[in-house]
Amino acid sequence: MHLTRRLAGWIAATGALIAVPLVVWANVGAEAATDPLLSRDRPAEASSAESAQYAAGNAVDGDGRTRWGSEEGVDPQWIAVDLGARASVSRVRLRWETAYGRAYDIQTSDDGTAWTTIAGTRAGDGGTDDLTGLAGQGRYVRLYGTARGTKWGYSLYDFEVYGTAPASGDAPAPRRPGRASQAAPVVTSGAPRPSKPTPTATTPATTAAGTGLADPRKKDIAMQLVSSAENSSLDWKAQYQYLEDIGDGRGYTGGIIGFCSGTGDMLELVEAYTQAVPGNPLARFLPALRKVNGTASHAGLDGFPEAWRSVVADPAFTRAQDDERDRVYFNPAVNQAKADGLGALGQFAYYDAMVMHGPGPDADSFGGIRKAALAKAKPPAQGGTEAAYLTAFLDARTAAMRTEAAHSDTSRVDTAQRQFLKDGNLDLHTPLTWKVYGETFKIS
């Protein structure tokens, strides 16, 4: 979602000018998908309703004259539909009344509690949003609005979800579709910084604690691998306190995954932290973060870097960073990789791609990269071999990277992930040795 800090430094040193567009995950206005409509007359709930006349069910009843309308003047708001059983979601069509959402996410869930974002925008303009090329899985589908486009609320004539027939097996027990915490384990900072010139970290031997990146040890390896490319260090936990403007047109960049004030995810992080700890030192900046969202501006953010660093010692703040990383990037990537039949290496390849390119469906985002790979090879879930499919995915990934000058160095793929694939290390067994930007890293 941002330039790596090393590349940002190179740009500043050389004076190179690079146009970096703001990320919009939703592929709005693309050719409509052909999968069947799943949401018609299904049970729907919402965070609020303006009155009984504007209940959530109106958005899924197929009558273009009725609508759901939320409480006026309040963010966030949501509407969710229960598909009845787990299904694959390929398209969501939103037909707005005058009161539209400027910033929102489309999310899926198996239980109505833990949500995975599969699309979204921070620059909605009302009318009809036809979000196609999605790759979601779940029984529940939710629109989660974080910024209204008008002074009123959110109002939809149609909330249509398209996809394949529900997957076989017992459906989970119904749950009220509300906001989820998706809390990840609390991680503590202060791990020793690896020595130069060859950074090395020690990771305990993998046990049966989990499969793929569900194993906390493997997840930690994934964090170290990303950090080697983003921060030239394996000490990813040291990045909770990081905050600066790296000159990429996205305002402030900070934290373990490069949350940006200009792309919405930093706003969502501070909102989540404030929900957990009302009155925290960052809470007073929420109005300014909403105003600068979509821009590189620092207007109203005087003192924000100091406030950010003042809360790093609060476990609730590091937990909020972990949760947002998992909600937006890690969980969607790992879930899709598992659905494609991929092990730890494939799960990491998906995660690293989503971190850099965003989870949208356009050609140079994760969805487009995966689509290009599927055109060349079948994943194991479709009868293909893991090695052949991952080769196709990494080829598509590097092709997407080369379309943007800031990402034209593909060593985080070619001398890292591709090296593991060449070694046949599909499970990311340690020890691992790789290179990024010519620098060697090791996990022993």
Task: Give the catalytic positions in this structure.
Answer: 230, 248
Sequence-ordered list of residues with C-beta below 8 angstroms from that of 116, at least 6 positions apart, any chain:
107, 108, 109, 136, 138, 327, 331, 332, 335
Alpha carbon of 354 to those of 102, 106, 325, 378: distances in Å?
A: 23, 16, 11, 20
State the Cα–Cα distance between residues 242 and 258, nearest whole angstrom. 9
- Which letter, b or e, does each residue of 213-238 get, where b requires 16 or more Cβ atoms within 10 Å of its Cβ? bebebbbbbbbbbbbbbbbbbbbbbb
CA–CA separation, 45 vs 369, rounded Å? 34
The structure tokens 């076989």 sit at: 168
Place of tokens 């990789």: 337
Q: What is the DSSP letter of 234?
A: S
CB 169 within 8 A of CB 118: no
Q: Are 149 and 126 in contact (CB under 8 A)?
A: yes
CB 105 within 8 A of CB 92: no
d(CA 127, CA 124): 9
Q: Which residues pair with 238 in a beta bridge?
A: none
Residue 185 CA to its chain's centroid (Å): 18
CA distance 69 to 92: 18
Dihedrals φ, ψ of 57, to 5°? -60, -20
Both tokens of 412, joined, read 């985080």
Strand partners, 106: 119, 143
Whole-angstrom distance, CA of residue 90 vs CA of residue 323: 25
Q: Rounded distance, CA 346 to CA 334, Å?
A: 9
List Cβ neighbours of 130 (8 Å cut-off, separation of 6 or more).
28, 29, 30, 32, 91, 93, 94
Cβ partners under 8 Å of residue 73, min gap 6? 148, 151, 152, 153
Nearest to 107 by CA among 59, 153, 145: 145
- In 10 A of CB 168, how many CB atoms? 7
Are residues 228 and 239 in contact, defined by beta-carbon separation less than 8 angstroms? no
DSSP letter at 381 equals G
